[in-house]
Structure 1
Amino acid sequence: MKAARFVVGGKVQGVFFRASTREQAMALKLTGHARNLVDGSVEVVVYGDEAAIDRLETWLRDGPDAAEVDQLYREEIGAHDAPSEFLVR
């Protein structure tokens, strides 16, 4: 199992980014969470198969139709204590 943390910047709050990310993650059988950050970005932490995480990263580069992603940061993290579901916080 792998894990990654993404920070997505741009017009990503108020455009159903977190809910859409949850749908994508669940379809890819990933667990983790998506949450708004105070600087206007969205943090996405995911656990699962490396290929699925890579596919989610590709999706995060554009996000849902109303989003305008202008930054995407990825950090590999430890996969210990992986949650059993994907949450929107």
Structure 2
Amino acid sequence: MHEHVRATAWVRGRVQEVGFRWWTRARALEIGGLTGYTSNLSDGRVQVVAQGTRADCERLLELLRGPGTPGRVTGVTEIWGELRPGYDGFAIR
């Protein structure tokens, strides 16, 4: 579970203009050890890119699917991949 990975997730629902990106960044910082970003997409979804241990990325995905999110999440789709360089901290874009 200490393998370092990249998780890219697309969150659907009422997730823009409700503080969702800020909330996601705060959760990533609480978990610790994650780098990446969260950004609004033009189709109303929010994209989340997280890099860190598989366990930490899975924890963030679990929180994105959980009941405590701002707005209303109707679905989360994710893909897993290799780490990519160039991320310092966890940003809101």
TM-score higher than 0.5 here? yes
**Match 1:25 to one of 25, 28, 31:** 28
Three-state SS of the structure 1 residue aligned to 2:66 is coil
**Match 2:40 to one of 36, 40, 44:** 36
Aligned residue pairs total 89
With over 3 angstroms needed to count, the CA separation of the structure-2 counterparts of 1:65 and 1:24, relative to structure 1, is closer
Ranges in structure 2 where 5+ consecutive residues have no aligned partner: none
**Match 2:7 to one of 4, 8, 11:** 4
Comparing 52-61 with 76-85, greater Cα deviation is found at 76-85
- Specify the code of the residue in structure 1 equivalent to 2:30: A
Alignment pair present for 1:77 and 2:85: no
Equivalent residue runs for 1:47-66 within 5 Å: 47-62=51-66, 64-66=68-70
Ranges in structure 1 where 5+ consecutive residues have no aligned partner: none
User: Which TM-score applies when normalising by structure 1?
Assistant: 0.92
Q: Deviations over 1:14-46 (max 9, x none)?
A: 110000000000111211000000000000000
Deviation at 1:78, TM superposition (A): 1.8
Comparing 73-82 with 29-38, greater Cα deviation is found at 73-82
Three-state SS of the structure 2 residue aligned to 1:40 is coil
Query: Percent same amino acid at aligned positions?
Result: 34
